[in-house]
Amino acid sequence: MEIWIEKHRPKRVEDIAGQQEATRILRGFISSGEMPHLIFAGPPGVGKTTAAICLAMEMIGENWRDHFLELNASNDRGISIIREDIKDFARTQSITEGKFKIIFLDEADELTPEAQAALRRTMEVYFKNVRFIFSCNYSTGIIPPLQSRAVLIRFKKIEDSDMKKALKGVSEKENLKLSDDIMDAIAENAEGDLRKGINLLQSLSYVEKPTVRDVYEIAGNVEEKDIIPLLSNARHGNFEEASRIGMSLLIDSGYSALDIIKGMHSLMVREQKQD
């Protein structure tokens, strides 16, 4: 069984969903054949890793795998990752003339300040050979000396329209036919995280005659129609009935209090947008 998020990962920067501003900047680097060190900042599942891989494929060419090192900084947060993996890769020149290598540090904000400080010198010494791409949720987790040596590119949550467009593209490739209501439910439960959306889509592909409720069940969220009576009674001061509905969701349906609160919050946000 193939994992769809890998199977359908874009191979070109311009095919990345929902990041028009970020991809516009990256296309400029590809056109020029040159790039600085980069910081990709944004929430999970919005295309940061995909952008780094696409950039390597288009900047370096067919031998990109030999010139691209991907490390997850949360696995080894200390200075040893700099002294061993990164320096060993950085000190050897690219075998492709005129090309540089790319080191992609995912979750770079998890590196200790000491490890980040050690990177500063490595970036300066091996600049002719290597470009760094730091990926993080928040750029504030990257120390100022590294921020000043890199260009910050922000990635945002995927809008529902871009999410559904990407999901429909995957569905068509997999010959999976789902109703618009189900697609809307997937987009809502994905919460701007396309990776989560595609995982939900793949999970639904194994369900016979999937429904909107199946989407919420797989995502572990409370369906809107179960939240509406709770919120409505609370708004009208019928707290005893609201409490009864809430307890039923907790005990009979097995949802956590946090699940219920998140469901109420999502419903209120959606109502506010419609107004």
Q: What are the tens digits of pLDDT across the range 196-238?
A: 999 999 999 999 999 999 999 899 888 888 889 999 999 989 9
Q: Is residue 85 over pLDDT 80? A: no
Where do we find the tokens 């989407």?
215
- Supply the angle between the helices 212-219 and 180-190 in degrees, to the nearest 10: 20
Superfamily of domain 4-154: P-loop containing nucleotide triphosphate hydrolases (3.40.50.300)
**pTM, 2 dp:** 0.84
Q: What are the tens digits of pLDDT across the range 123-161?
A: 888 888 899 999 999 999 999 999 999 999 999 999 999
**Angle ∠(54,57,63) on CA atoms, nearest 5:** 155
Q: Is residue 265 over pLDDT 90? A: no
Instruction: Using the Cα atoms of residue 57, residue 145, residue 116 and residue 129 in order, give the sign of their dihedral.
Output: positive
Helix (H) or strand (E) holding 221: none
* Domain extents in the chain: 4-154, 160-274
Burial 66-98 (b: 16+ CB within 10 A, else e): ebbbebebeebeebebbeeebeebbeeebeeee
**CATH 1.10.8.60 applies to domain 160-274:** yes
Mean pLDDT of 108-131: 87
